Amino acid sequence: MESLLRHMVELTGQRDHNLLDVAIISALQEMVGASQVRMMDIFRTGDEALVRARAWITNGTVTTIDESTADHRNDTPLTHYPVLLECIAHQGGRVEEIGSDGETILWVPIWQNDIATACLQITGTTTVAPAALHVMEGILSVYRNYQNLLDYSERDSLTGLLNRRTFDEKFSRMASSQTVPDSHALPNVDRRHPNDVEGQWLAVVDIDHFKRVNDQFGHLYGDEVLILVANLLRSSFRTQDLVFRFGGEEFVILLRSVSLNDASSAFERLRANIEEHYFPQLGTITVSIGFVSINSSTPVVILGHADQALYYGKSNGRNQVCFYDELVRRGQLHSEVINDHVEFFFDN
């Protein structure tokens, strides 16, 4: 009972989704004596349902996708887990199977509004006892309720993406995790091409001519377009990358630990995915994207740079990806810093 109360206190004391995931998988691992517990996202891209691990604990070691330096974009089709797939199809609460190595796997879908948005994979050498299952269900009910409270405060009610209110905290956390290599300790770093050095990136995405969509089809259909674009944004990036709706038709992406070439490719891939997607009644739409590297500047300055790159693209044909530093280098944009806080921008 003391252990259970301790875990309940830890669950309800969290103010962050990652820490909430860590609290629930730690509680379940200790309660059932599992060798591994994984929290996995379930999402769709096109007509395909995919599964992506976001937090896991193995033999007492906890890892979250936010902390991992590896690229975990190797999404797995849900069809690779037929027992879980059948459980979800029948709106089940849990299902057990024996893995290929003889271990017992307990699948527990996490439901939100009749949609399985995540699942737990609990792996151990023995079947979970009925008494432990009963307690586990109670803890999961608390987890779901608390997750809904966090989502209500952190997420945009229309698209389900992170909202603007959460941006400053997420940006500060990403910026503080950025490390600058010591060129004396790592002389080989200087030999790498700048485009190959990993960094953090911010992009602003804006739907081209979105006002025409609202004017021609109405705001309800405009909302449907925003939801579809949000789904394309969500499926185009890794779990450790963050996607925000800033309001209207504008979105912001925080992309972590990739090179300039990879960042540019990711944003270009997003642009192409949206252009190639068929929107009912409307046909096709396009987006313009401006992006910038995240450095020691304030969020206001970084956003200002990305906005300038975005609006350069919109003023010069739309449906393109523009990198702020490249535009400045070419002389196509010029910025003048005033007292280190406010910048005025000029489009040459």
Q: What is the pLDDT of residues 79-124, one digit of tens each?
A: 999 999 999 999 999 999 998 888 999 999 998 778 898 999 999 9
Q: Whole-angstrom Cα distance, residue 206 to residue 289? A: 7
Mean pLDDT for the stretch of residues 245-266: 93
Does residue 322 have a pLDDT over 70? yes
What are the residues facing 118 on neighbouring strands? 41, 110
CB 104 within 8 A of CB 94: no
Q: Which residues contact 136 (CB under 8 A, 6 or more apart)?
A: 28, 31, 32, 108, 128
Mean pLDDT for the stretch of residues 8-13: 70
* C-beta neighbour count of 290 within 10 angstroms: 27
What 8-state DSSP symbol labels residue 80? G
Q: Which residues contact 176 (CB under 8 A, 6 or more apart)?
A: none
What are the residues facing 51 on neighbouring strands? 42, 76
Catalytic positions:
249
Q: Which helix (H) or strand (E) holds 342?
A: strand 342-347
* C-beta neighbour count of 55 within 10 angstroms: 28
If 0-12 CB within 10 Å is exposed, 13-18 middle and 19+ buried, where does residue 72 land? middle
Supply the mean pLDDT for the chain.
Answer: 83
What are the residues facing 26 on neighbouring strands? none
Q: Looking at residue 132, what is its pLDDT?
A: 84
Percent share of the chain, pLDDT over 90: 46
Q: Whole-angstrom Cα distance, residue 97 to residue 21? A: 23
* C-beta neighbour count of 14 within 10 angstroms: 18
Question: Could you read off the pLDDT of 138-183 as tens digits, one per residue?
Answer: 888 888 888 888 777 888 989 989 999 888 888 887 776 654 333 3
CB 307 within 8 A of CB 252: no
Radius of gyration in angstroms for the set of CA atoms belonging to the chain, rounded to a whole number: 22
Q: Locate tokens 């990652």: which residue?
A: 18
Q: Looking at residue 339, what is its pLDDT?
A: 43
Which residue stretches of 55-166 are H helix? 82-89, 130-154
